[in-house]
């Protein structure tokens, strides 16, 4: 049996979950040095919920498994009994650290206490902890801290400061407890003492990863930050502490943005769809996909923290090990292109992206072009490159083999001197590839850039940057340089809810222009955005040169029922 828990239980999740603003005090840059260098980290969601792993009393709870207690509305007294059968005898801190190292990860952040309120460490502030409440009796965070120290990795702790479903005075549990609460009582009696324990008993703590600040008060956030500062001045705090008090920004879960914030930041991601271990989740991402996500973030100056969910027995799922080792083998080979690199002056290209360190660009070819040529706009002087190339008028054309020489992702190293011109967009129409024109890079008039976030399964977030607020006369346009003539299929990816069905738009490119209708892509069930990629027609680029691709609203129906995510030009005549 399946229960759809997506819209019924927590209608206003996004309010609970958002918070990406950070404090700008000058200490961040210095204390965050190691963070910027590291680039790649392991996130571990492990707790009582790992034991039931998405199933409760014969029912399935698809989605993020660490929310089981809420999704199944399990009474505290019943949930507590899970502790009696939580005995993770296969837990081996050394093996986890070895895996993180093999994956090329530089630090680990583990759930010390998630929303269910169960402490994965010995705590005098609450007996609801792994040492006092389970047959296991060991403190895994102690063992992990020791293994990290030996293995040369930094360690940070996830701590749910606002939600604690075990406590009547914290936020989150509406099925056991009354709405009137004394949050300060919980803060003083559990959260603060436990954070103090974490910062005094486990050696140097690299960061505390707070989460779901919800409506936590500025005073409470500040008190938490002050406590961290007082006990471990070098310990970083992420933006989900709330109220803009973090040292660095945590973007939306699993968010691979097209543009980057101007501060220290990270994205946390899953290698399947859940954080905590779920027997229902087999949707593993491929090493190619994970490497693509890593290098796209690194090219924008961000960190990538990739999650694994060990089982209730304390074992890493076999798939996690296999996938992480494959990613790691690649990362180790290309270490120079990842660690310590800074935001790339070259923006996202049709073929992939670049990472950057002084004097070097690393071209990560995520989509291998057919036809033997890879183009990029580059004003700097090319000092070294192992492949044949031509470089004229700021246009670099590299001759590449028919097939990618390396798997999962080929990297081309480019030695450069002089200032590299920031050439993020307009970009080149790369021959032999699908060329994407994304929302944030469009010049807009009478429409606006917006963002949509929604859950597919429960808690499994997706994000899209879109062009919204269309009306008659609204225009989105992208300028680009075509290097060769050719024919291309034009595609648009949009959501068109029923009220906007049949809205008319005009596309124009070069001398060609025609009208097309937007076609109903369906309602938005459970707040989900349902995009469709539609082929609009065949267009011709008659000669090499500068072009503008424009989409204009002609007869737009509905009130913001049409949103456009991307248009694409796909080679049509090969």
Other C-beta atoms closer than 10 Å to the C-beta of 59 total 12
Q: Which of 52, 252, 302, 347 binds ligand JFZ (CB under 6 A)?
A: 252
For ligand JFZ, give the closer residue by CB, 463 or 491.
Answer: 463
By CB under 6 A, tell whether 171 contacts ligand JFZ.
no
For ligand JFZ, give the closer residue by CB, 9 or 329.
Answer: 9
| Alpha-helix runs per DSSP H in 164-217 | 183-186, 192-200
Residues 126-145 that bind ligand JFZ (CB under 6 A): none
Question: Shortest Cβ distance from residue 212 to ligand JFZ (Å)?
Answer: 5
By CB under 6 A, tell whether 268 contacts ligand JFZ.
yes
Distances in whole angstroms, Cα of residue 244 to Cα of each of 157, 217, 252, 509 = 20, 11, 15, 44
Rounded Cα gap, residues 526 and 386, in angstroms: 51
Query: Buried (b) or exposed (e) across 320-333, using 16+ Cβ within 10 A?
Result: bbebbebbbebbee
Q: Give the interface segment with ligand JFZ, choosing from 60-68, 345-353, 406-414, 566-574 (CB under 6 A).
A: 60-68
| Alpha-helix runs per DSSP H in 338-472 | none
Which sign, positive or negative, has the C-alpha torsion 275, 279, 282, 283?
negative
For ligand JFZ, give the closer residue by CB, 17 or 470.
Answer: 17
Question: Shortest Cβ distance from residue 68 to ligand JFZ (Å)?
Answer: 10
Residues 558/497, Cβ–Cβ less than 8 Å:
yes
DSSP class per residue in 116-162: T--BSS--SS-S-BHHHHSS----HHHHHHHHHHHHT-EEEEEE-SS
Q: Which of 453, 469, 540, 560 binds ligand JFZ (CB under 6 A)?
A: 453
For ligand JFZ, give the closer residue by CB, 92 or 460.
Answer: 460
Question: Shortest Cβ distance from residue 15 to ligand JFZ (Å)?
Answer: 10
By CB under 6 A, tell whether 157 contacts ligand JFZ.
no
For ligand JFZ, give the closer residue by CB, 121 or 461.
Answer: 461
By CB under 6 A, tell whether 18 contacts ligand JFZ.
yes
For ligand JFZ, give the closer residue by CB, 252 or 553.
Answer: 252
Question: Shortest Cβ distance from residue 504 to ligand JFZ (Å)?
Answer: 35
Q: Give the interface segment with ligand JFZ, choosing from 62-70, 337-345, 432-440, 510-518 (CB under 6 A).
A: 62-70
Rounded Cα gap, residues 377 and 78, in angstroms: 62
Question: Shortest Cβ distance from residue 177 to ligand JFZ (Å)?
Answer: 19
By CB under 6 A, tell whether 17 contacts ligand JFZ.
yes
By CB under 6 A, tell whether 212 contacts ligand JFZ.
yes
For ligand JFZ, give the closer residue by CB, 128 or 275.
Answer: 275
For ligand JFZ, give the closer residue by CB, 197 or 269.
Answer: 269
User: What is the x/- site pattern for ligand JFZ, positions 20-39, by CB under 6 A?
Assistant: --------------------
Distance of CA 289 to the CA centre of its chain: 12
By CB under 6 A, tell whether 66 contacts ligand JFZ.
yes
Looking at residue 285, the DSSP 8-state letter turns out to be P
Q: Which of 211, 266, 281, 561 binds ligand JFZ (CB under 6 A)?
A: 211
What region does 63 belong to: left with phi over 0, alpha with psi -120 to 50, or beta?
A: left
Which residue matches tokens 């010995």? 122
Residues 73/333, Cβ–Cβ less than 8 Å:
no
By CB under 6 A, tell whether 275 contacts ligand JFZ.
yes
For 295, phi then psi, to 5°, come to -75, -30
Tokens at residue 476, please? 């989105």
By CB under 6 A, tell whether 64 contacts ligand JFZ.
yes
For ligand JFZ, give the closer residue by CB, 8 or 381.
Answer: 8
Other C-beta atoms closer than 10 Å to the C-beta of 31 total 18
Query: Buried (b) or exposed (e) across 36-56, using 16+ Cβ within 10 A?
Result: bebbbbbbbbbbbbbbbbbeb
By CB under 6 A, tell whether 210 contacts ligand JFZ.
no
By CB under 6 A, tell whether 465 contacts ligand JFZ.
no
Residues 358/402, Cβ–Cβ less than 8 Å:
no
For ligand JFZ, give the closer residue by CB, 49 or 488.
Answer: 49
Residues 179/166, Cβ–Cβ less than 8 Å:
no
Question: Shortest Cβ distance from residue 70 to ligand JFZ (Å)?
Answer: 10
For ligand JFZ, give the closer residue by CB, 18 or 94.
Answer: 18
By CB under 6 A, tell whether 461 contacts ligand JFZ.
yes
Which residue matches tokens 């007082």? 230
Question: Shortest Cβ distance from residue 411 to ligand JFZ (Å)?
Answer: 29
- Binding residues for ligand JFZ, rule: CB under 6 A, are 17-18, 64, 66-67, 211-212, 252-253, 268, 275, 453, 461
């Amino acid at each position: 049996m399946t229960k759809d828990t997506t819209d019924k239980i927590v209608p206003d999740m996004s309010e609970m979950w958002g918070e990406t603003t950070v404090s700008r005090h000058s200490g961040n840059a210095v204390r965050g040095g190691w963070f910027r260098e590291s680039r790649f980290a392991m996130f571990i969601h492990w707790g009582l919920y790992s034991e039931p792993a998405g199933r409760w009393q014969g029912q399935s709870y698809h989605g993020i498994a660490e929310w089981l207690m809420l999704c199944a509305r399990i009474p505290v007294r019943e949930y507590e009994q899970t502790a009696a059968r939580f005995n993770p005898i296969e837990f081996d801190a050394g093996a986890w650290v070895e895996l993180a190292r093999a994956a090329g990860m530089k630090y680990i952040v583990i759930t010390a206490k998630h929303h269910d309120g169960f402490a994965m460490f010995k705590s005098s502030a609450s007996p609801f902890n792994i040492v006092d409440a389970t047959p296991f009796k060991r403190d895994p965070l102690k063992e992990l801290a020791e293994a990290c120290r030996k293995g040369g990795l930094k360690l940070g702790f996830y701590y749910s400061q606002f939600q604690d479903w075990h406590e009547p005075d914290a936020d989150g549990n509406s099925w056991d407890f009354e709405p009137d609460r004394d949050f300060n009582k919980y803060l003083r009696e559990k959260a603060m003492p436990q954070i103090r324990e974490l910062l005094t008993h486990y050696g140097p703590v690299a960061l505390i990863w707070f989460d779901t600040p919800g409506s936590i008060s500025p005073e409470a956030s500040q008190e938490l930050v002050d406590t961290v500062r007082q006990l471990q001045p070098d310990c970083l705090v992420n933006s989900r502490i709330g109220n803009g008090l973090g040292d660095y920004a945590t973007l939306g879960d699993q968010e691979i943005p097209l543009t980057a914030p101007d501060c220290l930041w990270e994205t946390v991601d899953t290698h399947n769809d859940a954080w905590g271990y779920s027997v229902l989740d087999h949707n593993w991402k491929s090493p190619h996909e994970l490497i693509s996500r890593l290098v796209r973030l690194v090219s924008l100056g961000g960190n990538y923290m990739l999650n694994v969910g060990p089982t209730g027995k304390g074992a890493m799922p076999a798939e996690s090990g296999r996938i992480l080792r494959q990613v790691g083998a690649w990362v180790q080979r290309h270490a120079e292109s990842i660690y310590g690199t800074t935001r790339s002056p070259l923006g996202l290209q049709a073929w992939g992206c670049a990472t950057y360190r002084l004097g070097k660009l690393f071209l990560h070819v995520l989509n291998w072009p057919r036809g033997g040529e890879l183009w990029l706009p580059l004003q700097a002087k090319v000092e070294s490159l192992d492949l044949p190339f031509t470089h004229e008028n700021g246009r670099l054309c590299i001759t590449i083999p028919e097939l990618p020489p390396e798997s999962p992702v080929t990297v081309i190293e480019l030695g450069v001197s002089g200032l590299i011109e920031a050439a993020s967009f307009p970009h080149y129409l790369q021959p032999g590839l699908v060329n994407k024109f994304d929302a944030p890079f469009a010049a807009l008039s009478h429409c606006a850039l917006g963002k949509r976030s929604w859950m597919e399964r429960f808690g499994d977030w997706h994000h899209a940057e879109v062009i919204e607020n269309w009306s008659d006369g609204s225009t989105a346009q992208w300028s680009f340089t075509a290097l060769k003539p050719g024919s291309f299929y034009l595609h648009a990816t949009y959501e068109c809810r029923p009220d906007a069905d049949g809205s008319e738009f005009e596309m124009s490119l070069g001398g060609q222009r025609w009208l097309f209708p937007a076609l109903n892509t369906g309602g938005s069930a459970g707040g989900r955005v349902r995009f469709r990629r539609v082929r609009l027609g065949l267009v011709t680029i008659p000669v090499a040169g500068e072009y503008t691709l424009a989409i204009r609203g002609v007869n737009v129906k509905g009130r913001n029922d049409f949103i456009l995510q991307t248009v694409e030009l796909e080679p049509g005549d090969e």
